[in-house]
Amino acid sequence: MSLASDLGDRFKAEFAGKLIAVVSAGLLTVILARLLEPDQYGLLFLAISVLGMIEMFSKLGIAKSAARYVAEYKETDPGQLRGIFRFSLLLNVVTISVVCIAVLLGYEHIARLVGEPEIGPLLVVGVCYILFNTLDQFVRTLLQGFEAIKPASVLLSVSSSLRFVFAVSLVLVGYGVVGALLGYIISYAISTVLGLGYLYVRLYKTSPSAEIETGLRRRIVEYTAPLTLTSAADVLDKKIDTILVGIFTGPVGVAYYTVGEQVIQFVETPMAALGFALSPTYEAQKAKGNTEIAAKIYEEALTHGLLLYIPAAAGLMLVAEPLVLEAFGTEYQGAVIVLQVMAIYAVLRAIMKITSNGLDFLGRARERAIIKGITAVLNVGLNILLIPLIGVVGAAISTVITFSLFTVANLYIMHLELGFRVRYLIRHTGSALLVTAVMSVVVYLLIGMVSGIVTLVSVVFVGVLVWALLAVGSGLIDIRYILSVVF
C-alpha cells in the first residue's frame, strides 16, 4: 500500500471517529441546553473546565512523550516498545493517584476559590472523571504513536456515543447536573478498559521483548517537561476563559461561551482527524530520512485545510444568529456574538490541528512550550482586562488575539523543521480568500430568507455548493485525486 493510500485510510478512520464524536457532542450540547436551565448548564461546564485545569497535573505530558518514542523506536528498535509502555503507564498511574487524593482533600477550597460553592459535589464526583479521562487520553495517544489510527478512532466513537447515551439518560431520570457528569465518567471508563485491553493484546504482547535501553526512561521523563508546560499552557488557554467568565459573569455567561466553543469543536472535526492521523508520520518519515516527503504532506494538508476553513469561518459569521436561536433557543441570544468572534478561532485551530501535535512528535515540544506559556499568560491578562469591560465576548476576543500569535510562531517552527514552501502557501491562501469572498456574497444575499431550520439548512447547502463549484472549477481541489485516496 502506498503512503498516500495508507494516510487516506487513517484519515477516513479518524474522521469517522471524530464525526461520530462531534455529532454526539453536538446533540448532547443541544439536548442538555434544553433539559437544564442556563445556570445549571453553565455550572456543569464550569465544573468540567475546573476539572480540566486540574487534570493537566495528572497527565504531565507522559502519554505524548511515550508516543513520541513509540513512533521513533517502532522504526528503529521495536524491542523497546514494551518497556516504553510499561514505564509510561506506571508513571501516569502515580500522577493520577496524587492528583485524585489532592482533589478529595481540597475540593471545598477549590470551590471557594472559583466562587461557586455548588460545584463542590461535582468536584468530588469529578475525581473519577480525572482518573478515567486521563487514562482514556493515554490509550488514544499511545495508539497514535503506534500509528494504530483505526482502533484509536473506534475508541473515540465508543466513548462519545456512550457519553451521549448515559449523560442524557441520567439527566432524564432526575439526576441533573451530577447525572450528566456521571455520564461522561462512565463513557471514559468503558473506553479506557477496552483501549488498555487492545494495547496489551494486539500491540504489547506482539512486540519483541528486550531490556529497556539505558537512559530511555530518563529521556521519556525529560521530554515530558516541555510537553507538560505546553499542555498546561494549552489547558490554561482553553479552560481559564471559562473559569474567568464564570467568576465575572456567573454560570449563564459560561453557558453562552460554551455554546460558541461547542460549535467550533464541531467545525474543526475534519482537521482534527487529519492532524491526528498525520502527526506521527512526520517523525516516522524523518527517521527514515524522508524530510521532503514529510514537508509535502504538511503543505497539502495545510493548503486544503485553509481552503475549507476560511470559507467555513466566513459562513459561520453570517449564519451565527439563526444557528444559535434555532439550535439552542432564544435564551442563548448572548452566544451569537461570541460565536461570530470565535469563527476566526476556528481557522487558527484548523491550522494548529495539523501543526502542533506534529511538532511534538518531531521533538520541538520545548520551543512550543515557551511560546505557549507566553501566550497563555497574555490570554489570562487580556481576559481579566476585557471580560469586566465587555462581558463574555471579551474572552472570545482574547482567545483569538493570543492564539493568532501562537499559530504564527508554530508555523515558523514547522518551517524550520521541514522547510515547507512559504510562497506556495501564501498563493493558495490568497485563492482561498477569493473563493470565500464570492461565497460570502451569495450567503449574505440569502440570509434574510431564513425563517426556520429548513431554510437555514438550505442557505448553508447553497453556500457549500457555491464553494465546491469554485474550488473544483478553479483547480484548487483535484477531486479525482482526493476520491482515489479517500475511497
pLDDT of residue 379: 82
Report the percentage of the chain scoring pLDDT > 70. 76
Residue 485 confidence class, pLDDT cut points 50, 70, 90: very low
Is the pLDDT reported for residue 202 higher than 60? Answer: yes
Q: Distances from the Cα of 312 to the Cαs of 100, 129, 266, 340, in angstroms?
A: 40, 33, 12, 12
Is the pLDDT reported for residue 281 higher than 70? Answer: no
Residue 449 confidence class, pLDDT cut points 50, 70, 90: confident
Candidate from 47-56, 76-85, 186-195, 470-479 with smallest mean pLDDT: 470-479
The number of distinct structural domains making up the chain is 1
Residue 486 confidence class, pLDDT cut points 50, 70, 90: very low
Q: Distances from the Cα of 386 to the Cαs of 33, 205, 254, 391, in angstroms?
A: 26, 54, 15, 7
Is the pLDDT reported for residue 177 higher than 80? Answer: yes
Report the percentage of the chain scoring pLDDT > 90. 4
Buried b (16+ CB within 10 A) or exposed e, 261-276: bbbbbbbbbbbbbbbb
Residue 249 confidence class, pLDDT cut points 50, 70, 90: low
Q: What average pLDDT does range 245-270 have in this prediction?
A: 64
Say if residues 143 and 199 touch (Cβ distance below 8 Å): yes
Residue 282 confidence class, pLDDT cut points 50, 70, 90: low
CA distance linking residue 139 with residue 199, whole number of Å: 8
DSSP for 446-473, please give it: HGGG--SHHHHHHHHHHHHHHHHHHHHH
Residue 48 CA to its chain's centroid (Å): 15
Is the pLDDT reported for residue 400 higher than 50? Answer: yes
Is the pLDDT reported for residue 242 higher than 80? Answer: no
Q: Distances from the Cα of 422 to the Cαs of 243, 273, 295, 298, in angstroms?
A: 38, 24, 11, 12
pLDDT of residue 377: 81
Q: How deeply is 112 buried, as exposed, middle or buried, from its count of CB atoms within 10 A (0-12, 13-18, 19+)? A: exposed
| Cell 471579551 -> residue | 394
pLDDT of residue 5: 54
Residue 131 confidence class, pLDDT cut points 50, 70, 90: very high
Which residues span the domain enclosing 54? 3-486
Name the residue type at position 92.
Answer: N
> What pLDDT, in 10s, does the model give residues 26-84?
778 778 877 877 777 778 878 888 888 888 888 888 888 888 888 777 767 777 788 88
Candidate from 173-187, 234-248, 274-288, 354-368 with smallest mean pLDDT: 274-288
Is the pLDDT reported for residue 1 higher than 50? Answer: no
Is the pLDDT reported for residue 240 higher than 70? Answer: no
User: What is the pLDDT of the chain when averaged over all its residues?
Assistant: 77
Is this prediction's pTM over 0.95?
no
